[in-house]
Amino acid sequence: MLSWMECPACHQVTPIQRKRGKTKRRGHVKTMWCPFCKKVTPHRERF
């Protein structure tokens, strides 16, 4: 299952894979590296 994470710095959306039983709620925050702005930022779950 795909989840979409939005970078607060550049507002680009990045897809990440999640198992069906491990989905998170909308607004969940995950600190990850953004491939667009090349920074580690707290991304928010979009869907």
pLDDT digits (tens, 9 = 90+) for 1-47: 888 999 999 999 999 888 887 777 788 899 999 999 999 999 999 87
Number of domains within the chain: 1
pLDDT of the residue at 23 = 78
Q: Is the pTM value of this prediction over 0.95?
A: no
pLDDT at 24: 78
* Tokens found for residue 26: 């909308």
Dist CA 4 CA 28 (whole Å): 11
Q: Which long-range contacts (CB under 8 A, 24 or more apart) does 28-32 make?
A: 30/5, 32/5
Q: How far apart are CA 4 and CA 21, in angstroms?
A: 16
Q: How many whole angstroms separate alpha carbon 25 and alpha carbon 44? A: 10
- Range of the structural domain that residue 21 is part of: 2-45
pLDDT for res 10: 94
